[in-house]
Amino acid sequence: MSAPDYIVSEVFLTLPTAVARDKRVITIPCGMVSSETVQWLLANSGPAIRFQLVVDMLQEQDVGKVSSVLADLLASPLVTEWMNRLAPGFEMKQLHSSSPSAFENTMGKLGELGLRAGLQPFDSKTLPFRAWLTDTEEDETESPFRVFLRTLVASLLSFTGYSDTDPVSNVLTERLEATYSFARNPEFALVYVGNMADEDLVNPNLYPDQQLVLPWVHDILGFAGSDQILSDPDLRLKAETVVSMVLSPEYQELQPDYGLMKHKDRAYKIGWSIHLPGFLSEPSESSMSRLLRILLMMAPFRTARESKWFRQMMDILETYATEHGTYRFPMSWLPETREGYWMNGAYMAIEEDRRKSTAYECESTFRMLKIRHLMEKYR
């Protein structure tokens, strides 16, 4: 293995970064990832993985090295392709659909490639969406999707580093209070009140003014990206309470996607519940890309990390470790689809050239390292 010019300790990585907002230390226990594994990844991966390794995990303090990996990231054809897709548009299908150009898919992909708040080209692209959150804060539009779409936009902005901006923070706090109000003493027997067209009807008391008290998967993504929520003991406790409820058998036995919500004289599918692959039965092959996303999203929460489900899923991933300390997941776990929902495991490519023999090994190893990094960061 060739070693790039970075200092890596086998027991811990402790380089503060010049671009980080604080100076956290990443501790990676010996045996989880070796210095040789990190060095191999730096030597073999493309711009997106190298940037995140250097800035987020190695926390490099040399401005020249940080500038170099940042320049490579912004010059990446893969980043350029997805940045060009991020355009203002606030109709339902422009924000939420299976199109790669839908806001949720584009933002999820860019965040996974390493784009985040503070990078000027990205800040310019996300400004219209941050402004939209502010402009619609007092909107009284009678739409069954108003709260959901605001939650979706805020959660993806939180995922990409904007959680401390007022419009994003306000939505996250409102959603945290709403979901906690149910999670602190969940009465699952009251969730359904009837049936319509072979679908369960959700109790209207659980979505006053469309503010659903059951969590959407986007809620957890937003909470996981919020330094305010994760660092404040009271807010953290509420978020952990919501996650704890999601990890209960009673929650997992709810109807997938919850069921129907009535609005005026019509009913709409709620969708986007947090049903966990591998919780009630072995995870299917087709659910593994979604599982990888959910494990990363859940890693900051102690309640999740300590759960039987999380440990079992991590054990499954560990079976794909190579003798060299890297990981190689099946290609079917990392699909780069033409369309689909990022949240469900579409658009998984991080490497620019997947024809390289090491591409999937780089992506697999980086995903495992990132999960471990978040587990340690918020321990």
Give the tens place of pLDDT for each residue, 31-71.
356 788 999 999 999 999 999 999 999 999 999 999 999 99
Report residues of the chain scoring pLDDT below 50: 1-31
The whole domain housing 8 covers: 1-75
Query: CA separation (Å) from 350 to 84, 212, 219, 339?
Result: 17, 34, 24, 16
Asked whether residue 151 falls in the same domain as residue 60, the answer is no
Q: Do 231 and 102 have their domain in common?
A: yes
pLDDT digits (tens, 9 = 90+) for 151-169: 999 999 999 999 999 999 9
For residues 159 and 197, state if they share a domain: yes
Cα-flanking dihedrals φ and ψ of residue 66, to 5°? -65, -45
- Evaluate whether residue 144 is within a structural domain: yes
31 and 12 assigned to the same domain: yes
pLDDT on residue 33: 60
Closest CA to 108 of 378, 275, 293: 293
Whether residue 278 is found in the same domain as residue 133 = yes
d(CA 332, CA 316): 15
Are residue 33 and residue 176 in the same domain, yes or no?
Answer: no
- What's the rounded Cα separation, in Å, for the pair 58 and 51? 10
d(CA 58, CA 175): 33
The answer to whether residue 328 is domain-embedded is: yes
pLDDT of residue 31: 36
User: How much is the pLDDT for 19?
Assistant: 35
The answer on 110 and 59 residing in a single domain is no
Among 270, 248, 247, 251, residue whose Cα is nearest residue 259 = 270
DSSP 215: P
Do 9 and 127 belong to one domain? no
Residue 163 β-bridge partners: none
Considering 10, 42, 75, which residue would you say is the last residue of a domain?
75
Q: List the 260-263 sheet strands across, edge first.
A: 192-196, 199-202, 260-263, 266-269
User: In the beta sheet, which residues pair with residue 225?
Assistant: none
Last residue of a domain, one of 22, 44, 75: 75
DSSP code per residue over 124-168: HHHHHHHHHHHHTTT-----TTHHHHHHHHHHHHHHTT-TTSHHH
Pair 120, 58 in one domain: no
| Domain count for the chain | 2
Exposed/middle/buried for 157, CB within 10 Å: 0-12, 13-18, 19+?
Answer: buried
266: in domain:
yes
CB 242 within 8 A of CB 179: yes
In a domain, 316, yes or no: yes
Same domain, 240 and 222: yes
Same domain, 71 and 171: no
Examine residue 357 and state whether it is found in any structural domain, yes or no: no
Select from 75, 109, 131 the last residue of a domain: 75
Same domain, 34 and 159: no
Instruction: Judge whether 142 lies within some domain.
Output: yes
pLDDT of residue 355: 96
Residue 358 covered by a domain: no
For residue 187, what pLDDT is reported? 97
